[in-house]
Structure 1
Amino acid sequence: MTSHHPAPRPARPVADLFSADGRLKAIPRKPARREALLAHLAATLFEDGRDYREPEVNEALLAVHEDFPALRRYLVIGGFLGRTKDGSTYRRQQQPGSPGGAIFAVA
């Protein structure tokens, strides 16, 4: 049992967000669903400890959805991908969950 888990979330898999060909049907509007999706994308598309140039990030995200700029922005804002100040390099971050992880919402 996971009774020690702080905020139990509905354990809906992200698989239902994808069509049979592996492409994302839509970017979820609900923050919890979107965060689950972003965690999945970060874990499956980006290796830990590796630097990615922006074109590589775009190409990886474009493989799942045409609105790769939105996905990239969500990944950075949510703390799943870190970005250098000049925006040239991205790196997968430790999963959010610590204070400051994905607290600020985009209005």
Structure 2
Amino acid sequence: MDGLRGFVSDGRLLRLPARQSKRRVVLAHLALSFEPGRRFPEKEVDVVLRAWCAGGETDHVAVRRHLVDEGLLSRADGVYWRSGGWVDVLG
């Protein structure tokens, strides 16, 4: 996906874009890591996001916060679920 160029490479998040519209594209891509309809404990979300952020400029906690702020993940009582973003209906 063209909007990811310069921000995601080889399954890693290099950095988050400053511009909100580009950041939303990158975050929506990361949200694909979370299966719709499934609940995730915070520790599991952190494992996934740490893997994305390894070696990059952005820490996983900031990414988690952005995902929630953008409505891509929701949370309650330390449990997260995917609440937005694209869904791959062909895969």
TM-score (structure 2 length as normaliser): 0.80
Distance 2:62 2:40 in 1: 17
Runs of 4+ aligned residues of structure 1 deviating over 4 Å after TM superposition are none
| Letter matched to residue 54 of structure 1 | E
Partner SS, residue 37 of structure 2:
coil
The percent of aligned pairs where both chains have the same amino acid is 40
What is the number of residues matched between the two proteins? 82
Greater radius of gyration (CA): 1
SS in 2 for 1:57: helix
Q: What is the CA RMSD across the aligned residues, in angstroms?
A: 1.9
Of 70, 75, 78 in structure 2, the residue corresponding to residue 78 of structure 1 is 70
Higher helix share: 2
Long gaps (5+) in structure 2: 87-91
Structure 1: segments with no counterpart, 5+ residues: 1-10, 97-107
Higher RCO (CA-CA < 8 Å; seq separation 6+): 2
Q: 1:24 to 1:94 in 2, by over 3 A?
A: closer
> What letter is aligned with 1:36?
V
- The structure whose residues are more often strand, as a share, is 2
